[in-house]
């Protein structure tokens, strides 16, 4: 019996029906980004189902409480506009939950009726609904444009616009935008910068917010996340490093244009070379040298690769997820001499295929591969049926393909609903690269232990 | 927001209510006060509770939307319908495999689309120029790929705003595809379940049931073979509950024509009208179907409850009593006798560790009521309970239905005009009902949750995060039951939290086997060592001073 028994091997062009999407919608990304500001309550301006779905999915992924408000539209608000609902919501939220910031994003409903968030926020200010010293951020996040990554990017922009100012005193700090990654990854991104002695402002920063400890008390706003006193200084930084073109570049370029803070857009630091580029960028932007500790961490990645190369070499992989994640992952797999042969992202974006092509053709031995932007996991599965692979890398929803086709799955990306660890252990940086390699090796070697005939079943690998 | 573990059980319900609403702006406080009521412990003096009213903007509600109720809850568990969400990708994505509705197709090749997520993935162009053509094309593509028995289309918020007529598209495509393929009948129907309709999931249940009643029930007159034929309404097979109930009924010799909609197939819905009795589990989500089937086909309905061993036994006996057959009644008694020893053995081992503990339940439109039976079997008291999306009748009983004021939000949900089917209305069933009623057998009734709760306990409608925090602070219950969004905030306070929408990882909890599973699960939760680790040893006695020998 197969769970995806109706997926045929023969691939037919589809123009209207998406099946098993490799993306979701903007507001969830905006909600996640907003959680990365200390004392911030994300707010979903639309009917309450969106907010419920986004909170549920983030909760299932992080296994931690996700606080967010909703404007709770019913039919009336949908016809006459949601201004009254939002004004009421702002007042209630500041009174009951006492956040320092409310970060409002739109939904496809409020976006379609044309609610103007900055205008409503202004009105709230005029009506005295925003207490002294408190902030409202806004982001336009129509669900029918882009994907969850776009929403994350738009809220990063909302944060930059809401707190940044060109009249800020120069601080000598570096802004770092970590991209749509796990809280543990944000922590690791900060750790590398700190190891190099670089004063930085990382935002959004969900570490400690969506992976908070259990201490017997519930704090709706944990003592974690990017601090407001830091965020108001972002316009005075000496530069910005934006990780991930899709998730981070927009806000970085905005700060470049508006506050004259020069930016550098890099790939997310997954794997060896993307981390090299991040470390190198930090070194250049801050004018410091790289400490031996970092060389050592890097050396461990190269060491493990040299020790276990035989198990990586020419293994075929199918992977799906966010473009920012796939680009450095594909590069890392190629660096391990593996063969990423099927690559799907649901998030639209013109540059993706070109970047993948560059990575896939930079070595002497070209490999045929499939890539699709705006594709789905149904197509991915069909490709796998036509050309089987040794490994799957992607989110939880890949477990159905993994079971049907009997292929090991390394869970990576968003959402991961059925495994733990992603919140706590990074996959960015050199430590993250070690962990990715460990997971891939475990998958291959466990499979080998399961399948090997008795005569060749060996203790030593 | 910090919650300290201090028990203050001496507070009166009114004092608790004041505590819960103290921080609200005056208008919010006035409204919420009416949604919090103390139970009186009997039917006659049950107070009126405000429910099925709009969520206050900015309040962190536990509720979802109409689409979630329609696609997620009611239609989601039916394996052989290709459910296409018409809208941007999010809604389809979030309702993809997240409710733990289990299904077991008859053969490995049988239709099962539950693992798939279908969406028209509307983009900006579709919103500007309309999405009807894309929807038509999507239906055609789904048909070409799968040749399913049925395709259902679910409207999301923007679809309602831009005015795509999903019903016209469904009619047109049904006609076209059936004309093109005379050998394969396909049923296609749509749902106007935009998220903004109504005030909660409940609106979506209503919309779902209306369309299933209109487009599906009664399509096939070929009955299922069997002597005692019933439908099970409002059972969604979370974590395998319906499998347990199916097994019990089968062993009793009762034929289950259809389950709405746990482990269900559209073919069974089509012949649901051939049953002799409708039994309702979740009153809120589906009482309309039972009502409409009674008017149209003459099938009477009764409320049952398969949560808890005592309630399961009672429900089985009530079904047997309806058919009035000695043979059936004996078999029911035999099955109960077979099941009870395991239940009693489990209780005997577990009860010493659960007796006297306290629980709170805020979930669904019947689960907050039903699960109190399981807790009471374990000797646990429910201090407070409430529903996310119930109406007054779910709290106070059906006798209040005539006095419920219909507001604008409810008026937007279509009410079907139903009349007796000229050829299929079963007069014998009507007569049977009358005869049994004369003997005191209760049909068409549900007494609601509040009369069954102890005096001084609380019923709270549409509980929110702030009030949940306060309840924990005031009572520090031994267990709290709600949904995934609430789970980890509660646990951060050191209180175990059991999901009762999706059961976390557990289940089934229905029937006798389910009761045993639940006892074990609650024992695990309330007696887990983990809660003793919350404070580190050095934080338990932080004032301790000592002289160290190196000083």
Burial B225-256 (b: 16+ CB within 10 A, else e): eeebbbbbbbbbbbbbbbbbbbebbeebbbbb
> Is residue B379 within 8 Å of residue B351, measured between CB atoms?
yes
Residues 101-160 of B with CB under 8 A from A: 108-109, 111-113, 115-124, 126-127, 134-138, 140-142, 144-146, 156-158, 160
Structure tokens at A3: 């769970």
CB A115 within 8 A of CB A144: no
- Which of A45, A216, A397 to substitute to test the interface with B, most B CBs within 10 Å? A216
Tokens of B291: 């009502």
What DSSP string describes B51-94? -S-PPPTT--BS---HHIIIIIIIITTBTTEEEEEESSHHHHHH
- The pLDDT tens digits of the residues spanning B92-150 come to 999 999 999 999 999 999 999 999 999 999 999 999 999 999 999 999 999 999 999 99
Determine whether B329 is exposed, middle or buried from the number of CB atoms within 10 Å of its CB (0-12, 13-18, 19+).
Answer: middle
Mutate to test the interface with B, among A7, A16, A42 (most CBs of B within 10 A): A16
First to last CA, chain A: 34
ipTM of the complex: 0.97
Question: Which region holds residue A20: left if phi is over 0, alpha if psi is between -120 and 50, else beta?
Answer: left
Q: Hey, which residues 21-80 in chain A have their CB within 8 Å of chain B?
A: 21, 23-28, 43, 46-50, 52-57, 59-60, 63-78
pLDDT score of A290 more than 80: yes
The first and second tokens of residue A339, run together, are 């063969």
Six-digit token pair at B97? Answer: 């495999």
Distance CA A151, CA A155 (A): 6
What pLDDT is stored for residue A349 in this prediction?
A: 93
Q: How far is CA B98 from CA A418, B92, B196, B497, B521, in A?
A: 11, 11, 21, 19, 21
Q: Which of A63-72, A317-326, B85-94, B408-417 has the least mean pLDDT? A: B408-417
Q: In this structure, are residues A410 and A385 in contact, taking their beta carbons and an 8 Å threshold?
A: no
- Tell me which of 3.40.640.10, 3.40.50.1980, 3.30.420.40, 3.90.480.20 is the CATH number of domain A295-456: 3.40.50.1980
Instruction: Please state the separation of Cα B106 from the chain's center in Å.
Output: 25
pLDDT for the residue A366: 76
- Interface with B, mutate which of A35, A41, A52, A344 (most B CBs under 10 A): A52
Tell me the DSSP string of B398-465.
Answer: GGGGGGPPP-HHHHTS--------TTT--HHHHHHHHHHHHTT---S----SGGGSPTT-EEETT-BH
**Parallel, antiparallel, or unpaired: how do β-strands B358-362 and B254-261 relate?**
unpaired
Among A57, A64, A73, the residue with its CB nearest the CB of B196 is A73
Is the four-CA dihedral A420, A423, A3, B192 of positive or negative sign? positive
pLDDT tens per residue, range B438-461: 999 999 999 999 999 999 999 999
CA of A62: which chain B residue's CA is closest? Answer: B488
From B283, B284, B274, select the one nearest B230 (Cα to Cα).
Answer: B274
Smallest CA–CA separation between B377 and chain A, in Å?
29
Q: Are A337 and A314 in contact (CB under 8 A)?
A: yes
Query: By three-state DSSP, how is residue A39 classified?
Result: coil
Name the residue ranges covered by the structural domains of chain A.
Answer: 26-151, 174-289, 295-456
- Tell me how far apart the alpha carbons of residues A294 and A192 are, in angstroms, rounded to a whole number: 8
The answer to whether the CB atoms of A112 and B3 lie below 8 A apart is: no
Q: Are B68 and B205 in contact (CB under 8 A)?
A: no
What DSSP element (H or E) covers B255? strand B254-261
- The 10s digit of each residue's pLDDT in A192-228 is 999 999 999 999 999 999 999 999 999 999 999 999 9
Q: Which of A21, A65, A113 sits opposite B117 (nearest CB)?
A: A21
Question: How far is B277 from B426, CA to CA, in rounded Å?
Answer: 11
Q: What does the pLDDT read at residue B546?
A: 62
Yes or no: say if A326 and A343 are a contact pair by the CB < 8 Å rule: yes
Q: Domains along chain B?
A: 8-65+354-397+448-501 (3.40.50.1980), 66-195 (3.40.50.1980), 229-350+402-439 (3.40.50.1980)
Distance CA A234, CA A430 (A): 27
- Tell me the β-bridge partners of A392: A318, A409
Which residues, at least 6 apart from A388, have a Cβ–Cβ distance to it below 8 Å?
A316, A405, A407
Report residue A457's pLDDT band, with 50, 70 and 90 as the boundaries. Answer: very high
pLDDT band (50, 70, 90) for residue A367: confident
Structure tokens that stand for B355 in this block: 């007796």
Q: Which residues of A touch B469 (CB under 8 A)?
A: 218
Closest by CA position to A402, among listed B505, B115, B91, B111: B115
pLDDT of residue B365: 86
Consecutive H or E run containing A264: strand A263-266
**Which pLDDT score, from 0 to 100, does residue A286 have?**
86
Alpha carbons within 13 angstroms on the beta-carbon side of residue B263 total 20
The answer to whether A246 and A153 are in contact (CB under 8 A) is yes
From chain B, the residues in CB contact with A144 under 8 A are 88, 122-124, 126-127, 158
What is the reported pTM? 0.97
Residue B2 has a pLDDT of 42
Query: Which residues in chain B are closer than 8 Å to A89, comparing Cβ atoms?
Result: 57-58
Write out residues 85-124 of A within 8 Å (CB-CB) of B.
Answer: 85-86, 88-93, 95-97, 107-109, 112-113
Buried b / exposed e over A66-89, threshold 16 CB at 10 Å, is bbbbbbbbbbbbbeebbbebbbbb
Helices (H) and strands (E) in chain B, counts: 22, 14
Q: What is the mean pLDDT of residues A275-299?
A: 96
Paired residues of A242 in beta bridges: A177, A265
User: What is the reported pLDDT for A17?
Assistant: 98
CB neighbours of residue A9 within 10 Å: 10
- Determine how β-strand A200-202 pairs with β-strand A174-177: parallel
The verdict on a CB contact (< 8 Å) between B197 and A75 is yes
- Share of residues in chain A with pLDDT > 70 (%): 100
Note whether A26-151 and A295-456 share their fold: yes
Q: Which residues 294-333 in chain A show a CB within 8 A of chain B?
A: none
Tens-digit pLDDT profile for chain B (551 aa)? 444 444 545 789 999 999 999 999 999 999 999 999 999 999 999 999 999 999 999 999 999 999 999 999 999 999 999 999 999 999 999 999 999 999 999 999 999 999 999 999 999 999 999 999 999 999 999 999 999 999 999 999 999 999 999 999 999 999 999 999 999 999 999 999 999 999 999 999 999 999 999 999 999 999 999 999 999 999 999 999 999 999 999 999 999 999 999 999 999 999 999 999 999 999 999 999 999 999 999 999 999 999 999 999 999 999 999 999 999 999 999 999 999 999 999 999 999 999 999 999 999 889 999 999 999 999 999 999 999 999 999 999 999 999 999 999 999 899 999 999 999 999 999 999 999 999 999 999 999 999 999 999 999 999 999 999 999 999 999 999 999 999 999 999 999 999 999 999 999 999 999 999 999 999 999 999 999 999 999 988 766 566 666 65
Topology of domain A26-151, CATH: Rossmann fold (3.40.50)
Q: Name the E strands within A61-181.
A: 69-70, 101-106, 135-139, 174-177
CB count, 10 Å around CB of A195? 16
- Note the pLDDT of residue A329: 98
The domain A174-289 having CATH identifier 3.40.50.970: the answer here is: no
């Amino acid at each position: 019996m197969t769970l995806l028994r109706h997926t045929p091997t023969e691939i037919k062009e589809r123009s209207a029906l998406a099946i098993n999407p490799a993306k979701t919608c903007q507001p969830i990304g905006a909600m996640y980004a907003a959680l990365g500001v200390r004392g911030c309550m994300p707010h979903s301006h639309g009917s309450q189902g969106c907010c419920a779905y986004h909170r549920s999915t983030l909760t299932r992924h992080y296994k931690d409480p996700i606080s967010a408000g909703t404007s709770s539209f019913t039919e009336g608000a949908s016809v006459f506009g949601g201004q009254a609902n939002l004004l009421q919501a702002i007042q209630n939220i500041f009174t009951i939950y006492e956040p320092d910031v409310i970060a409002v994003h739109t939904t496809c409903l409020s976006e379609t009726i044309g609610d103007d968030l900055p205008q409503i926020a202004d009105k709230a200010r005029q009506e005295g609904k925003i207490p002294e010293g408190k902030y409202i951020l806004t982001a336009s996040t129509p669900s029918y444009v882009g994907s969850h990554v776009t929403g994350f990017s738009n809220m990063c922009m909302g944060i930059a616009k809401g707190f940044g100012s060109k009249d800020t005193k120069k601080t000598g700090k570096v802004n770092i935008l970590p991209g749509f990654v796990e809280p543990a990854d944000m922590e690791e991104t900060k750790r590398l910068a700190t190891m190099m002695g670089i004063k930085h402002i990382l935002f959004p920063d969900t570490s400690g917010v969506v992976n908070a400890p259990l201490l017997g008390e519930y704090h709706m706003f944990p003592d974690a996340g990017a601090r407001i006193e830091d965020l108001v200084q972002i316009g005075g930084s000496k530069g910005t490093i934006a990780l991930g073109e899709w998730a981070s570049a927009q806000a970085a370029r905005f700060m470049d244009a508006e506050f004259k803070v020069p930016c550098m857009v890099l790939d997310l630091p997954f794997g060896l070379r993307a981390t090299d580029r991040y470390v190198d960028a930090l070194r250049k932007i801050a004018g410091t040298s790289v400490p031996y500790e970092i060389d050592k961490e890097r050396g461990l990645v190269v060491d493990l690769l040299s020790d276990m190369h035989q198990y990586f070499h020419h293994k075929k992989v199918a992977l799906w997820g966010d473009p920012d994640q796939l680009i450095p992952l594909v590069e890392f797999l190629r660096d391990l001499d593996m063969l990423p042969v099927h690559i799907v992202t649901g998030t639209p974006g013109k540059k993706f295929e070109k970047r993948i092509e560059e990575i896939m053709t930079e070595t002497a031995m070209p490999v045929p591969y499939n890539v699709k932007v705006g594709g789905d996991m149904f197509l991915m599965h069909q490709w796998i049926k036509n050309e089987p692979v040794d490994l799957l890398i992607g989110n939880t929803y890949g477990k159905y393909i993994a079971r049907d086709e009997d292929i090991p799955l390394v869970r990576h990306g968003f959402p991961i609903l059925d495994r733990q660890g992603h919140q706590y252990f990074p996959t960015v940086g050199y430590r993250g690269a070690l962990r990715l390699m460990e997971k891939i090796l475990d998958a291959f070697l466990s499979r080998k232990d399961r399948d090997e005939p008795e005569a060749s079943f060996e203790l030593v690998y | 927001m910090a919650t300290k573990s201090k028990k203050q059980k001496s507070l009166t319900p009114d004092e608790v209510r004041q505590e819960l609403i103290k921080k609200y702006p005056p208008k919010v406080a006035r409204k919420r006060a009416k949604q919090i009521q103390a139970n009186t412990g009997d039917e006659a003096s049950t107070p009126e509770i405000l429910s099925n009213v709009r969520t206050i903007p900015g309040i962190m509600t536990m509720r979802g939307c109409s689409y979630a109720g329609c696609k997620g809850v009611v239609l989601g568990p039916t394996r052989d319908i290709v459910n296409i969400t018409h809208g941007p990708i999010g809604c389809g994505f979030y309702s993809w495999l997240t409710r733990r509705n289990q299904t077991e197709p008859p053969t490995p090749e049988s239709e099962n689309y539950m693992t798939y997520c279908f969406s028209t993935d509307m983009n900006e162009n579709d919103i500007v120029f309309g999405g009807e053509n894309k929807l038509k094309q999507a239906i055609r593509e789904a048909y070409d790929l799968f040749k399913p028995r049925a395709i259902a289309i679910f409207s999301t918020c923007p679809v309602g705003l831009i005015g795509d007529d999903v019903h016209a598209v469904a009619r047109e495509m049904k006609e076209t595809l059936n004309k093109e393929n005379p050998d394969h009948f396909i049923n296609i129907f749509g749902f106007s379940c935009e998220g903004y309709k109504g005030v909660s999931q409940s609106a979506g249940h209503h919309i779902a049931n209306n369309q299933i009643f209109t487009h599906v029930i009664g399509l096939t007159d070929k009955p299922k073979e069997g002597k005692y034929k019933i439908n099970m309404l409002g059972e969604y097979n979370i974590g395998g509950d319906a499998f347990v109930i199916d097994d019990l009924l089968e062993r009793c010799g009762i034929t289950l024509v259809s389950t709405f909609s746990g482990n269900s197939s559209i073919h069974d819905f089509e012949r649901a009208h051939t049953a002799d009795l409708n039994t309702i589990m979740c009153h809120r989500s589906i009482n309309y179907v039972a009502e409409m089937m009674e008017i149209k086909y003459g099938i009477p309905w009764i409320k049952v409850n398969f949560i808890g061993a005592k309630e399961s036994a009672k429900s089985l006996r009530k079904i047997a009593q309806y058919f009035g057959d000695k043979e059936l009644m004996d078999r029911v008694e035999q099955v109960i006798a077979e099941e009870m020893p395991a239940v009693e053995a489990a209780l005997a081992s577990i009860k010493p560790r659960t007796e006297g503990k306290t629980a709170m339940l805020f979930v669904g439109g019947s689960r907050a009521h039903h699960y109190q039976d399981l807790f009471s079997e374990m000797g646990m008291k429910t201090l407070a309970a409430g529903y996310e999306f119930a109406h007054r009748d779910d709290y106070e009983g059906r006798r209040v239905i005539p006095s419920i004021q219909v507001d604008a939000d409810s008026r937007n949900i279509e009410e079907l005009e139903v009349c007796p089917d000229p050829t299929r209305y079963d007069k014998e069933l009507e007569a049977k009902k009358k005869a049994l009623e004369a003997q005191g057998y209760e049909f068409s009734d549900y007494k609601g949750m509040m009369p069954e709760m102890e005096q001084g306990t609380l019923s709270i409608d549409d509980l929110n995060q702030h009030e949940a925090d306060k309840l924990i602070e005031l009572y520090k219950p031994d267990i709290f039951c709600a949904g995934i969004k609430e789970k980890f905030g509660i646990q951060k306070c050191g209180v175990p939290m059991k999901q009762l929408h999706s059961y976390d990882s557990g289940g089934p909890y229905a029937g006798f086997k389910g009761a045993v599973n639940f006892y074990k699960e609650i024992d695990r939760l309330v007696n887990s060592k983990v809660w003793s680790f919350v404070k580190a040893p050095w934080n338990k006695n932080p004032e301790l001073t000592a002289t160290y020998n190196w000083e």
